[in-house]
Structure 1
């Protein structure tokens, strides 16, 4: 008597484009994951699946960002550019905040939102200087 073969649904159902299972074809993204306390945010820059929650396990951490200035008025950023280049070569997308940081670091072209933020800051500084005078 022949053994009964059990077929699992993952082996049968394939994505419309063909190829491997859905899990293998899922999109990846480089994004922030918020850490730290309520009034002291700190961000890890990670590669994760696009549809997962920010507190789910990530694929790899490729950097960190501390948005609050330290005693020298510096915002600290650390990148692993080799790993970022590896993931970008594999077709991973970037979120806008991460693209802005990579543009400011000189790795990518400067993001258009960076120019708009600088323009708004200049206008705000001019208005504040007029109010003081």
Structure 2
């Protein structure tokens, strides 16, 4: 199964996450199919905290990829931010 999930990057105590499309059997930070965005939980007000390529997200959901619960929450958060 193909999933849309977070892949952790950054250094100790400074997390940075890539939003990736991956096979469920691969490790969290392992091989992925495509990077469709990022999430920076410690971004300041002047920095961009989340970016998702909506066209690629729509494509992958259309072909059957399932988003993790955290990514679902981030998608809703990004949608609210875009509407505001």
Distance 2:34 2:56 in 1: 9
Q: What 5-or-longer segments of structure 1 have no aligned partner?
A: 1-26, 108-133
TM-score (norm 2): 0.87
Task: Decide which of 1, 4, 8 is 1:34's aligned counterpart.
Answer: 8
Q: How many residues align?
A: 80
CA RMSD, Structure 1 to Structure 2 (Å): 1.6
Mapped contact 2:51–2:78 kept (Cα < 8 A): no
Aligned residue in 2 for 1:81: 54
Choose between structure 1 and 2: higher helix proportion. Answer: 1
The structure number with the bigger radius of gyration is 1
Aligned residue in 2 for 1:60: 34
After TM superposition, the runs of 4+ consecutive aligned structure 1 residues lying more than 3 A away are none
- The alpha carbon displacement at 1:38 in A equals 0.6
Distance 2:17 2:43 in 1: 14
Q: Which has the higher contact order (CA 8 A, sep 6+)?
A: 2
Distance 1:82 1:47 in 2: 13
- The alpha carbon displacement at 1:104 in A equals 1.6
Choose between structure 1 and 2: higher strand proportion. Answer: 2
Residue 93 (1) aligns with residue 72 (2):
no
Distance 1:69 1:47 in 2: 23
Q: Name the CA shift for 1:103/1:38 in 2 (closer, same or farther; >3 Å).
A: same
Mapped contact 2:38–2:50 kept (Cα < 8 A): yes
Aligned residue in 2 for 1:24: none
